[in-house]
Amino acid sequence: MKLRRHMKTRIGIIKGTVYAVVIWILMILPVYSPIKDTGDNIFTVYLNGVEVGTLASRQTAEKCLRDARRQFASGSEELILADAELTLKGDDVLFGEVDSRKSVKNRMIEVLEKSKSSTLERSYTVKINKYSVNLSSKDDVFTLLSKALGKYDTEGEYKVDLVTDPTREVNVLTSQIVSVEEARKEEAELKLPEAGIDQAISDVFRKIKPLIEEKSFEDYQLGLMSIDFGDKVEVVESYLPASEITDIATAIDEVTKDQETNQIYEIKSGDTLGTIAEDFGLPLDKLIAMNETIENEESKIRAGDEIIVTVPEPELAVVYTTQQYYEEDYEADIIYKDNDSWYTTRTEVIQEPSAGHRKVVAKVSYINNTETGRDIQKEEVTYEAVPKIVERGTIVPPTYIKPISGGRQSSGFGRRNAPTKGASTFHKGIDWATPVGTAVMASNAGVVTRAGWGRGYGYVIYISHADGRETRYGHLSKILVKPGQSVSQGQKIALSGNTGVSTGAHLHFEILINGAQVNPLNYLN
């Protein structure tokens, strides 16, 4: 009995020892994944191709990556970009060693640090038409827009606000200009609303219509009346690399500095290429180079034509209105008196003008530094201007046509070598070589004053016209009209020939103004 009891005691001690050893082994040995018969039950984890540890499941690996990315980005307020490609290699094992989540997460953070591609900083993109600039803060946006406004609001009477653009579906801010004084008044009204007897008194005064008295010059407020941006300003928040963000000083220079901008200019009466170039501060050769229709400085330009010029303008236009007081000499509008018996080419000054003087209050509108309008609010004339009075004709002067069809110009108007003995060295008309017998027509309606032989002219016809001009047709072979006869424009009056001092069959044609020959080509339509 004693032996049996002793054996049981020893067996109990041995079992207890074995259990203790097993527990101790389990405590000191690495954790092993439990045996499963469902396929891969242990995974080697890779981040961006770098082994970061071994875990028991894909879900555990993905959670470690989320924790690593969160901790990786928590040290910066900016948006950080880093590659994070997670791959796992699974295996089916009976026993397998796995790493702790903490160690895997820390190795993942090390890999993310090495693969960090860039840091995106919070920024604000300001868009003005096709121009855009990226700034580092909203304060920089306000500084930029305030500088653009401050070029014209030198007293700081207005300020820039940013409000949500109601026309855009996405979150876009746009500028709004508010009066500093008005903003203060609104704040005061909100703080101290009227009530009780104060409100009742105010209501009574509001209903009373004040007597309208004419303002004196002292009653007008002078200076800046309104101001706004002439271009739409859009501001959006974004994340960008530091290399794409512009420092505020450079941005101010780009936005407020005048840039050369092409514009269309309509030529006015009296303009020349030289005066246009001077008005717009352009070298004449540059103005010519900008316009394909202008060949050189001698090219003709006409009122109503349009050409390209460059105008200095900032990226962000500012429109504003100022109220100004000034005194000036002024000219009265010209008074025209029509004379229905004169041609439109005739004018006579009946009364010479003299300037007047006046005091003025006017609202003047601008875009940047260019005046766009002037509205006079009050005017007081010190002494009246005397207007210029001009009498002018209303009858459109007749036109002149080439007196023959076809023909080759054989001699022009002006100096020449005498073609034959007895011929003049100063040619007083135009010659067209044409066969004998070609029909000659009246260049304009008129009265025949001479038709017959005319020495060097040979057979010749003179016609007097209603505008005081005279035409002559020489070297004719046959005359078909008589002196005193009225002829219409285009009427056949003769046949061309080779009579008088002539070297060949042709028509000689002259136009005379005030008795002197002029170049006919300048008057023919």
Strands of 454-524, DSSP E: 459-464, 470-479, 486-487, 492-496, 506-513, 516-518
- In degrees rounded to 5, what are phi and psi of residue 186? -65, -40
Say if residue 244 is in the same domain as residue 122. Answer: yes
Residue 131 reports pLDDT greater than 60: yes
Answer whether residue 254 is part of any domain. Answer: no
Answer whether residue 92 is part of any domain. Answer: yes
Measure the CA–CA gap between 148 and 233, rounded to whole angstroms: 12
Answer whether residue 224 is part of any domain. Answer: no
Say if residue 124 is in the same domain as residue 241. Answer: yes
Cβ pair 55, 18 in contact under 8 A: no
Q: Which two three-digit tokens encode residue 206?
A: 């509001």
Which secondary structure element, helix H or strand E, spans residue 322, and what is its range?
strand 318-330
Position with higher pLDDT, 295 vs 387: 387
Say if residue 149 is in the same domain as residue 235. Answer: yes
Answer whether residue 166 is part of any domain. Answer: yes
CA dihedral 312, 313, 318, 324 (to 10 degrees): 10
Measure the CA–CA gap between 159 and 178, rounded to whole angstroms: 6
Answer whether residue 216 is part of any domain. Answer: no
Answer whether residue 301 is part of any domain. Answer: yes
Say if residue 335 is in the same domain as residue 442. Answer: no
Say if residue 330 is in the same domain as residue 372. Answer: yes
Residue 512 reports pLDDT greater than 90: yes
Number of domains in the chain: 6
Residue 192 reports pLDDT greater than 60: no
Say if residue 145 is in the same domain as residue 159. Answer: yes
What band does 119 get if pLDDT is binned at 50, 70 and 90?
Answer: low
- Can you give the CATH number for the domain in which 263 is found? 3.10.350.10
Q: Which domain holds residue 169?
A: 118-192+230-248
How many residues are there in the chain?
A: 525
Answer whether residue 22 is part of any domain. Answer: yes
Answer whether residue 485 is part of any domain. Answer: yes
Say if residue 456 is in the same domain as residue 470. Answer: yes
Say if residue 133 is in the same domain as residue 242. Answer: yes
Measure the CA–CA gap between 417 and 428, rounded to whole angstroms: 13
Nearest of 460, 458, 439 to residue 501 by alpha carbon: 458
Q: Which two three-digit tokens encode residue 78?
A: 């900016």
Say if residue 423 is in the same domain as residue 497. Answer: yes
Nearest of 226, 312, 306, 223 to residue 262 by alpha carbon: 312
**Residue 357: per-residue pLDDT:** 96
Which of 395, 418, 453 lies at the terminal end of a domain, its last residue? 395
Global pTM value: 0.51
Say if residue 471 is in the same domain as residue 455. Answer: yes
